[in-house]
Structures are given as C-alpha cells and as structure tokens.
Amino acid sequence: MSERVIKVGLCGFGVVGQGVFNYLRSRQDLLSDRIGARLEVSRIAVRDTKKKRDFDYDESMLTTDPLSIATDPEVDVVCELMGGTGVALDVSIAALEAGKILVTANKALLCDHGEAVFAAAKRGGGQLFFEASVAGGIPVIKALKDSLVVNRFSSIYGILNGTSNYILTRMTNEGATYQEILTEAKALGYAEADESLDVDGIDAAHKAVVLAYLAHGRWVPFKDLLVEGVSEVTQDDIQFAKDNGYAVKLLAVIDVAHASGKLYISILPTLVSKKTSLGSVDGVFNAVSIHGDVVGETVYIGPGAGRDATASSVIADIVDGAKLLVNGGAETFVDPAPRGGDAIELAEPEEIESRYYVRLQVLDKPGVMAEVASLLASHKVSLASVTQKEVGEGAESATLIVTTHMTNEKAILDSVKSLAESPSVTAKPFCMPISGIEK
C-alpha cells in the first residue's frame, strides 16, 4: 500500500518557517517511519518572493497570499509562522473554519484573539496546535493540557523571555549595565532591532496569558495583567540579589490566591531565591515551574526560542495533526474552560500578597530614612530591612534599598507612588516583588 502524503502549507518562511522546512525535509524518512505518513511542504507564503533564503526550495511553491494556502483544499496542515495579529488572524480563522489542522507559534495572536481562534476551530471542525507559542522548544503546552490534565494548578512560574533572561544573566555575571548588554545583544542578533516586545515584558505576558488559559480556562485580557520589563534593573538591584542569595529574573506568575481562589497574573522583574529551580536558570533559556495539586511541582527547562528549538515544537504539532489525519481521529483538545461553571475571577491588588524590594534615590540629609519609613507605615507597609550604600563626602543623594514584610500589591503600589512624589526622593523608585517560591 502506498504511503499517505500529508501536505503542509507554510505561511511564513522566516526564522521559524525555514527551520520547519529544513527538518521536515531532512528528517522526512524518520518522521514517515514514526507516523506512517509522508509529510511534504507543498506551499509557502512570504511577503517578499525575491528575498534570499537559507535553504534551497522549489520557487513554484511560493505565494504572497497566505490566505490562499489556508483555504487550499490540497493543503492538510497550515502552519501560521508569520507573526502579528492581522493577516495571521485571518489565516488562522480561515484554516480552522475550513476544518484544517492549524499549527501556530504565535503567542501574540493567541493572547489577543485566543477566544476567536478557538471558536473558529469549534465552528469549522479544525484542530489547533500551538506548542511553539510558549517557551519555544520546551513541551510545556502538552504538559499542561494533556500530561497534567487531572491537576488543579495553584501556581505557575515562568521565565518566558530568553532575551530578558540573557541580559539579566550577563548583568549578574559581568557587572555591566542594562544598556551595554542590550546593545551587544542586538549586534549579536539575540535581541530584535525593536527590543520592546522582549525587554518590556510584553512577549512574556502574551505567553503567560496562553498558560493561564490552559490552566484555568479563561482568556485574561492583556490590560488586566501587571507587566513590567527589565529596562530599569540596575547594578544596585543585581548586587543586592547576589548579596542576599537571590537572582533577578523577569518572572511570570500565574497564581491562584489561597484565601479567595482568585486568579492573578503578573510579569515583573522579581527577586528569586537562588535555591529554587528557576533561580539558577540562566542565559537565553526559558523555564516553567508548574504546581499541580496531584503531581506536585514539575519543572521544564530548555531553549525558549531560536530556529531549531522552535521548529522542533512546530513539527511535533504537525505530527500530532498528521496522526489525527492518519488515524481518522477527531477532537483531541481538552477544553480547559469550566463547563456551565463561572469563569475564575481575577484577584484585586488588595488580595495579592508578597514581600517587596524598593530601591530609592534620596537626598543625603538627616531624617530621610525616618521619612521613608513613616511614609511606608502610612500605607501599612512594614520594613524588613534598610540598606544605604556608603556615599562620598559632599554627595547630594544616596541609594537606599528597603525590603518589606508581607504586604499587598495595592499598598506597595500606593507607597511607591507616594515615595515618587516626596521631595526627598530624587529619582523614580524601582520596586519588585521578592518571590515566595521556596523550592
């Protein structure tokens, strides 16, 4: 019997698309042995057909119309690897409404339009796979939606942006400034020309929204997350972390508050204990720690981006889709949304508790420390420690670092706002949570 051929259409032939193309071709026999069908790229959509690519390919496959691939009856699996939320949305919806297998690596798309994309799959009978959308090569989506399906998830912590982690790691190891490392990272291609998606926490937030959906069945709008990036982290913060057994990490937190059972999502620079699994994940690596009430903690660490790592996940999804076609299977997706029940509520800032670190630049004059302490006390925030760096004779301002006992997010945000308005504080205060992760 001749082997079934499954036709794959690549919408996007950039970093990820070409990686997928390369391994679908070079591992074609291996994949065919494993799934009992031959995977063939039959069409490719790009913006610029004249651009030089890194691999040889048959130019007759090219089109500048990705929608024509999404609706092509000859294409079985559509891979949306273009990025963005415009054409990518149209392509995804069209493919799913046409009942096709859609594979996407696009976290921005899922974060902003997840509900619409899943609805299109339901309407059209298409199947959606998105392993590469979170943590690149790490199979964390599969873990959450399949392998850990019996669990309730009290907390998920993630280092979800490799560029930010790379910058923080080098700041820690080399004592360089944020700006110095960023400039070099851009030159080496580790950071995009427009770095804001990475360093402002936006990319990590998109991924956190996807994880939260899988864990709790609710698409949380981006505007409801607390998101800050790493651009304001200085050597003072890094040094404090080192001196006290922490690392500064851009940490995504998807937590269910103990008392209220409400959901909280934030992406913030955070002091993470070096003793925890996440505290020692360095460089461009990503890591996700998932706390399930049945299994306990499971931790996933690996390359979160890059051509090959991302292609590995995209191809895993293509294979899952192909297996459905080969075996005639239907729906595989375990819908995380509570059936008939109410969606999990979002926690208010008053309900979110943590310890905090605050760095202040203050006038070097008597009474300032007392003023800071009393201002924090007025918001019911109590100090756990105060450190002032030694200043030279005649210096006008000094760096003051305070840590707090447990308090709530509203109290600390109000405190920082009041501190910023104080005439004794000479620069914008910097604040980050001290993570309570213990393992």
Ligand X SMILES: NC(=O)c1ccc[n+]([C@@H]2O[C@H](COP(=O)([O-])OP(=O)(O)OC[C@H]3O[C@@H](n4cnc5c(N)ncnc54)[C@H](OP(=O)(O)O)[C@@H]3O)[C@@H](O)[C@H]2O)c1
User: What is the number of the residue whose Cβ is closest to ligand X?
Assistant: 14
Instruction: Find the shortest distance in angstroms from Cβ 208 to ligand X.
Output: 14
35, 41, 45, 214: residue in contact with ligand X (rule CB under 6 A):
45
- For residue 26, the SS3 value is helix
Contact partners, residue 264, CB within 8 Å, separation at least 6: 253, 254, 255, 256, 257, 346, 347, 351, 352
Beta strands 4-11 and 127-129 are unpaired
1, 51, 339, 423: residue in contact with ligand X (rule CB under 6 A):
51
Contact partners, residue 115, CB within 8 Å, separation at least 6: 219
Between 16 and 381, CB nearer to ligand X: 16
Within 10 A of 124 (CB to CB), how many other CB atoms are there?
A: 17
Sign of the alpha-carbon dihedral angle for 49, 50, 55, 61: positive
Question: Within 13 Å, how many C-alpha atoms sit on residue 368's CB side?
Answer: 23
Rounded Cα distance, 141 and 160, in Å: 13
Print the binding letters for residues 262-291 with ligand X: x by CB under 6 A, - otherwise: ------------------------------
- Asked if 356 contacts 418 with a C-beta cutoff of 8 angstroms, the reply is no
Per CB under 6 A, the segment of 15-23, 252-260, 321-329, 387-395 that binds ligand X is 15-23
Question: Within 13 Å, how many C-alpha atoms sit on residue 28's CB side?
Answer: 14
Print the binding letters for residues 301-330 with ligand X: x by CB under 6 A, - otherwise: ----xx---x--------------------
Say which of 142, 207, 242, 262 is annotated catalytic. Answer: 207
> Does position 136 bind ligand X by CB under 6 A?
yes
| Residue type for position 260 | S
Print the binding letters for residues 88-117 with ligand X: x by CB under 6 A, - otherwise: -----------------xx-----------
Would you give the distance in Å from CA 27 to the centre of its chain? 29
Per CB under 6 A, the segment of 80-88, 166-174, 390-398, 414-422 that binds ligand X is 80-88
9, 83, 126, 201: residue in contact with ligand X (rule CB under 6 A):
83
37, 82, 156, 215: residue in contact with ligand X (rule CB under 6 A):
82
Look up 207 and say whether it is catalytic: yes
Rounded Cα distance, 409 and 351, in Å: 8
Print the binding letters for residues 219-248 with ligand X: x by CB under 6 A, - otherwise: ------------------------------
> Does position 201 bind ligand X by CB under 6 A?
no
- Asked if 258 contacts 211 with a C-beta cutoff of 8 angstroms, the reply is no
Instruction: Find the shortest distance in angstroms from Cβ 36 to ligand X.
Output: 28
48, 56, 74, 393: residue in contact with ligand X (rule CB under 6 A):
48
> Does position 46 bind ligand X by CB under 6 A?
yes
User: CA-CA distances (angstroms) from residue 271 to 354, 427, 431?
Assistant: 11, 21, 10
Sign of the alpha-carbon dihedral angle for 163, 164, 165, 166: positive
Per CB under 6 A, the segment of 31-39, 78-86, 116-124, 250-258 that binds ligand X is 78-86
Q: Where along the sequence are the contacts to ligand X (CB under 6 A)?
A: 12-17, 45-48, 51, 64, 66, 81-83, 87, 105-106, 132, 136, 305-306, 310
Give the residue numbers marked as catalytic.
Answer: 207
